[in-house]
Amino acid sequence: MDSPIVRVRKLSRPEEAQNAYPCMTEVVTPWPEALFLCREWMQEHLGEHIEGFHLELPDGETVGHLYYALSQSALVPYEIEPDVGVIYCEWVQRRHQEQGYGRRLFSALLDELKQHNAKGVLVEATTLQGRMHMDHFKARGFHVVLEQDERRIMYLPLHQEQVSVEPLTERLPEAGDDKVQILIMHGYLCPFDTSTHVLLREVVQEFAGQVQLREVHLSPETLRQYGVSRGIFINGKRKLGGGETELSVRQAILEALEGWD
């Protein structure tokens, strides 16, 4: 079968965010509320803290994306020198992979960054399969400049061989005198993460009086205040990453309560 003709579109209007996150539309998403919240966030911040390209079929269906920002606008937990491109997320739906479409998205990004005379490109890759794996970016010429747990900060030079990047200092609330402290940092850049935020709000009601829930919406100010851009933190430690079941969320809270007792 011939491959469908696709085009790469630069996002320029807020309403285009309603087609964002095609990673969640390959099948009927189990997290419709999370997808809605993420699209709403993108619509509000497009052109300010997030830019992007969509891969579109002739009928307008979005089947791939690449989201990014320049370092001076990017909401990431790192101190990065100005004029560096920062990739947030890249994905091509599985039925359209292995056809060169990912390379087309990345080429569009490089063309855009070169027009802005960007020094290079950074990405927070991981050692986790299926989640921005580092080997995908290594094959494009990126190299590791910083390691943190499963995260690998990788850099591709354009006009500058080296880049200055340092992690922000994390300042997270620890256990209180009488309650377990839970912090949700709403980055809204990933429906996978946001699905757990939605679930946690429901589950935590079972522990009224024992748990204090704080929800913080990501901004340049809160990024500096807490030193993190996304995640769920229980007593100052990252405990839930995204996509967890209701049982896993409840178990994480119970473990914190047992440790507090």
Side-chain half-sphere CA neighbours of 231 within 13 A: 18
Model confidence pLDDT, tens digit, residues 44-95: 999 999 999 999 999 999 999 999 999 999 999 999 999 999 999 999 999 9
User: CATH homologous superfamily for 7-167?
Assistant: Gcn5-related N-acetyltransferase (GNAT) (3.40.630.30)
What's the chain's Rg over C-alpha atoms? 19
Global confidence as pTM: 0.92
Delimit the CATH 3.40.30.10 region(s) of the chain. Answer: 180-260
Confidence at 4, pLDDT banded by 50, 70, 90: low
Q: Which helix (H) or strand (E) holds 237?
A: strand 237-240
Instruction: Identify the DSSP state of 30.
Output: S
Judged by DSSP in three states, 83 sits in coil
Whole-angstrom Cα distance, residue 58 to residue 5?
7
Give the tens place of pLDDT for each residue, 166-211: 999 999 877 666 788 999 998 888 898 999 999 999 999 999 889 9
Q: Where do the CATH 3.40.630.30 domains begin and end in the chain?
A: 7-167
In CATH, the architecture of 180-260 is: 3-Layer(aba) Sandwich (3.40)
